[in-house]
């Protein structure tokens, strides 16, 4: 039977374990804590009541950035990352955001293309990964 999926807003601290396991297991745990985590809006995807994926949104006026989209390694490629993306895109529309952007790992670019994000010319290297700023205009 396919698992029961629920997405809901969660406390910032609940994102840290999944960020660490999915994104930076080789770095110290504290590395995944963001200085502005307590100013963000965080969402968790529960699969059969187990927290399995997370994403965090940060607002500046009508522009939103999402950060640290992460799905537990054993649960990747099951559509959960896509469900979280759809959820925050809907959320941004409801909030009347004009743009959503992220620092995308270059090796995850194709994932974001699927949701209509396009690359900008801003690229950088951090913590062992190449990043590119990707963005999407939001309309009704
Ligand atoms: C990237 C991530 C969030 C995607 O979540 P997921 O649940 O594994 O993705 P989904 O199962 O929803 O994948 C949807 C589609 O994107 C593709 N996809 C998933 N991860 C991808 C990647 N890293 N690069 C390219 N395509 C990817 C899948 O193959 C699938 O394609 P399909 O629909 O044609 O079969 C997840 O793999 C993850 O946590 N990775 C490690 C952390 C990370 O890289 N985060 C993003 C930082 S920018």
- What does the buried/exposed string (b/e) look like for 38-58 if buried means 16 or more CB atoms within 10 Å of the residue's CB? eebbbbbbbbeeebbbbbbbe
% of the chain surpassing 70 pLDDT: 99
Which ligand 1 atom minimizes the distance to the CA of 131?
48
pLDDT, mean over the chain: 97
Distance 77 CA to ligand 1 centre (A): 6
Taking domain 5-100, whether its CATH number is 3.65.10.10 is answered by no
C-alpha of 11 from chain center: 15
Q: Which of 132, 73, 70 minimizes the C-alpha distance to 105?
A: 132
Position 1 scores a pLDDT of 85
The mean pLDDT value for 25-40 works out to 97
Q: Give, in order, the Cα–Cα distances in Å from 37 to each of 49, 59, 67.
A: 24, 12, 10
Position 121 scores a pLDDT of 97
71 band by pLDDT with thresholds 50, 70 and 90? very high
Is 66 strand, coil or helix? strand
Asked if residue 140 has pLDDT above 90, the reply is no
Among left, alpha and beta (phi > 0; psi -120 to 50; other), residue 34 is beta
Position 38 scores a pLDDT of 97
Distance 109 CA to ligand 1 centre (A): 9
Which ligand 1 atom minimizes the distance to the CA of 23?
42
Domain boundaries, the chain: 5-100
Position 67 scores a pLDDT of 98
Asked if residue 55 has pLDDT above 90, the reply is yes
Distance 83 CA to ligand 1 centre (A): 11
Q: Is 81 in the pocket of ligand 1 (CB under 6 A)?
A: yes
Residue with CA at minimum distance from ligand 1 atom 1: 108
The residue whose CB lies within 8 Å of the most ligand 1 atoms, and thus the one to mutate among 18, 108, 126, 134, is 108
Tokens of 89: 């895109």
């Amino acid at each position: 039977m396919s698992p029961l999926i629920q997405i809901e807003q969660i406390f910032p601290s609940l994102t840290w374990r999944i960020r660490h396991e999915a994104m930076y297991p080789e770095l110290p745990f504290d590395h995944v804590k963001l200085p502005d985590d307590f100013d963000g809006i965080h969402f968790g995807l529960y699969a059969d009541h187990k927290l399995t994926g997370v994403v965090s949104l940060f607002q500046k006026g009508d522009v939103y950035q999402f950060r640290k989209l992460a799905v537990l390694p054993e649960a990747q490629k099951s559509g959960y990352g896509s469900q979280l993306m759809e959820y925050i895109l809907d959320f941004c529309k409801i909030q009347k955001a004009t743009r959503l952007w992220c620092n995308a790992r270059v090796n995850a670019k194709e994932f974001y293309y699927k949701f209509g994000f396009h690359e900008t010319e801003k690229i950088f290297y951090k913590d062992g990964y190449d990043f590119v700023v990707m963005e999407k205009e939001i309309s009704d």
